[in-house]
């Protein structure tokens, strides 16, 4: 783990960001840790948003406390859906409704030069 002082960070910002792509960089102020720079190069905005969203992580913690279903039960349910789909039955999980007027409007937009 690299460390850099706040004063040096002002002068070496680009090098610090480059170093943060490989490992975390601790920024110190008066010899004490003040912040950490973590590289996120290669991530898209959505990943960064969800990774830093307190409400998302709170929801995730709450869901983990709820009772779930065993893996085997989940596999059975999925198998039933896939077998119904293969037989020509409708898969309730894949029902999507697109209004005809909305579909026509989107086609018109695509046809424009």
Q: Are 20 and 38 in contact (CB under 8 A)?
A: yes
Query: Tokens 């590289």 — which residue?
Result: 39
Taking only the tens place, the pLDDT of each residue in 31-89 is 999 999 999 999 999 999 999 999 999 999 999 998 888 999 999 999 998 887 777 65
Domains of the chain by residue range? 1-66
pLDDT of residue 69: 86
| Dihedral (Cα; 24, 29, 31, 37), 10-degree rounding | 0
Q: Is 97 helix (H, G, I), strand (E, B) or coil?
A: coil
For 35, list phi and psi in degrees, rounded to 5.
Answer: -160, 165
| Per-residue confidence (pLDDT) for residue 94, from 0 to 100 | 54
Judged against a pLDDT cut of 60, whether residue 113 lies above it is answered with no
Between 95 and 68, residue with greater pLDDT = 68
The CATH homologous superfamily of the domain defined by 1-66: YefM-like domain (3.40.1620.10)
| pLDDT value of residue 110 | 47
Inter-residue contact 36 to 9 (CB < 8 Å): no
């Amino acid at each position: 783990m690299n460390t850099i002082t706040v004063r040096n960070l002002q002068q070496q910002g680009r090098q610090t960001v480059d170093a943060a792509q490989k490992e975390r960089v601790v920024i110190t102020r008066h010899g004490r840790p003040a912040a950490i720079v973590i590289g996120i190069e290669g991530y898209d905005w959505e990943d960064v948003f969800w990774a830093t969203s307190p409400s998302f992580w709170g929801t995730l913690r709450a869901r983990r406390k709820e009772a779930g279903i065993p893996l085997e039960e989940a596999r059975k349910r999925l198998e039933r859906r896939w077998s119904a789909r293969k037989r020509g039955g409708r898969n309730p999980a894949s029902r999507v409704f697109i209004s005809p007027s909305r579909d026509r409007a989107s086609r018109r937009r695509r046809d424009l030069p």
